[in-house]
Structure 1
Amino acid sequence: MARKEKGSKNRDKARRKVARVHARIADRRRDTLHQLTTRLVRENQTIVIEDLAVRNMVKNHTLARAVSDAAWTTFREFLTYKCEWYGRTLVVIDRWYPSSKLCSQCGAIADTMPLSVRFWTCPCGAVHDRDVNAARNILAAGLAVSACGACVRPQRGNLRSGRRAVKQETRRATAGIPVP
């Protein structure tokens, strides 16, 4: 299209041809996302995802194309409305939850961990793949939220005041009625 003269009929034909190719690619991506999200929602009662700052991730020039091609925002939108349709639970974990740095075996948190570190060893002796460990931690945190309804960030000494998560028992229908 860049070689065509502006205002010519050939340029208009080339523009339509390029638009058709881009539309087909977009339709295929959208269809793949629909199929994947539908399968996930049908097969699972509870789906746990991590809230990611996609806008900030796209600013990183080395990750921008891969993040944009993955269409994470669209994926989350599809999951959200399909979970409502099918009556499933979607739990979104806080983006600051240290899922990669938290040992899924003992609960120890590593101080720093750059993106280049793909495997790490915890002081308890467990060797972790960064992504698999993060997936385990996200699932555990999501199930804790769905069971307890509490914040899932690890408590930090005395910096955060608040109660730990406890199981929420439903009150009996007769609670508070005096017994004669």
Structure 2
Amino acid sequence: MIRTQKVKLYPNSHMRKALLDLCDYRRYCWNQALETWNNMYDAYCLNKTANRKPSKLRVRDELVANKSDWQYGLSSRTLQLAITDLGVAWDDFFNEALTDWGKPKFKSKRAPRQGFKTDRAKLVKGKLRLDKPHGVANWYDIRFNKHVDLDGVLKTVSIYCENGIFWACLNFEVIIEPKCQTNQLTAVDVNVGHFNYTDGLIMVIPKRLNRLYEQIKYYQRKLAHKRVVNGKKATHTINYRTMRAKLQRAYRKATNIQHDLMQKFTTKLVTDFDTIVIEDLAVKKMQMTHVASKGLHRSMFGYFRQLLTYKCDWYGKRLVLAKQSYPSTQRCSQCGYVKQGLEKITLRGNTLHGTRHDQYDCYQCGAKLNRDSNAVANLLVLAN
């Protein structure tokens, strides 16, 4: 299995410039390769008998043959991996079932995140050592902020710069042992702000996270006011940059809190249970309602499913996905009655009968149930 650990890098002034040069070189290679690929594909579409279909090898050979002198002072793996990623992007372009389906685009130097990849990096005495290009005299190891917990073979290292800070994603090939079998079943009903399962409830938007979002709202309002008053000149002032740094730090804290909470919760699920049932939700369509789009985004439904999917694969656990048409919320877990039409429970409850959104009143057997507990019970049926 491939596991990833993210670390913060602290390069010296010399290596900082070298990393920025590699980021620019990755963007240059991607744009050159994409232009070459587009030209080859257009020629192939015009005359398929006279021209061959573009591929990673053909594009790579074309770029390597036309290398400039300055390119030999930079890592060759940056060019190779950029073309490899472009080949994957082109393969995805022909698969319309993907969520982010679309034609590969050119990279912009104005993008807030710039990065590159290498597969020849090493960990030496607790520091990261990148592959040294030919003809470079000074080359230093880069220290990072924490100890690497993973023990395995270091594969690809992705390094990117965002807001002047360098980060590295270390990909290790490790052997993962399956967790012990517990013969227990559970189901998770995801809601805005909290997740319900058989052992209780977990808050995915705790109070400390709400306080951070209030700070983010305050910083955004201040920055918008500065732009309105001072126009384009506002972005060049010290006060604006200071406020923007505070906003970015608050966003980073909020993301770390959410990711840490999701990682711990999914690890607890695959440790305590052998079979886990969740809903196959159309998250993007749900966000289009604008009723709770911000809460849906902050509850991280998609990230929760992504983590749970690969952890179940790692540890030999079974993940069951309930179909989008499965009425887990509208079905009575005691008698099986399914609400339809005007009787359905919505985010605002039921206006016809005047019930709340967190209450399930069965009109056939008269049972009064908690909406979330009833949904968990209905999902648990699919585990058998």
Find the partner of 1:27 among 231, 250, 256: 256
CA contact (8 A) 2:277 2:319 kept: yes
TM-score (norm 2): 0.35
What is the root-mean-square deviation of aligned Cα atoms in Å?
Answer: 1.8
Runs of 4+ in structure 1 over 6 Å off: none
- Correspondence for 2:345: 114
* Cα displacement (A) at 1:114: 3.2
Shift of 1:93: 0.5
In structure 1, how many angstroms separate the alpha carbons of the residues matched to 2:244 and 2:367?
56
1:17 paired residue number: 246
Q: Secondary structure at the match of 1:23?
A: helix
1:6 match: secondary structure = helix
Task: Could you tell me which runs of 5 or more consecutive residues in structure 2 were left unpaired when the two chains were aligned.
Answer: 1-221, 228-233, 351-358
Aligned residue runs from structure 1 range 153-164, under 5 A: none
Who wins on radius of gyration, i.e. which is larger?
2
Q: How does 1:13-92 map to 2 (within 5 A)?
A: 13-92=242-321
Deviation at 1:28? 1.1
Equivalent position amino acid for 1:48 in 2? V
In the alignment, the residues of structure 2 paired with residue 9 and residue 85 of structure 1 have an alpha-carbon distance, to the nearest angstrom, of 48
Number of residue pairs matched? 143
Q: Is the 8 A contact 1:103 1:122 kept in 2?
A: no
Letter in 2 for 1:62: V
- CA offset at residue 32 of structure 1? 0.8
> Offset of 1:18 from its aligned partner?
1.5
Q: Whose strand proportion is higher, 1 or 2? A: 2
- Which of 321, 324, 332 is the aligned partner of 1:103? 332
Amino acid at match of 2:235: K
Shift of 1:139: 0.8
Extract unaligned runs of 5+ from structure 1. 145-180
**Identical-pair percentage:** 34
Q: How has the CA–CA distance of structure 1 residues 56 and 13 changed in structure 2, closer, same or farther, with 3 Å as cutoff?
A: same
- Conserved? CA contact 2:330–2:345, under 8 Å: no
> TM-score when scaled to structure 1?
0.72
Q: Deviations over 1:56-91 (max 9, x none)?
A: 111122211111110010011011111111111110
How far the C-alpha of 1:47 sits from its partner, in A, is 0.5
**SS of the residue 2:235 aligns to:** coil
Does residue 140 (structure 1) correspond to residue 377 (structure 2)? The answer is no
In structure 2, C-alpha distance between the alignment counterparts of 1:6 and 1:107, rounded to whole Å: 60
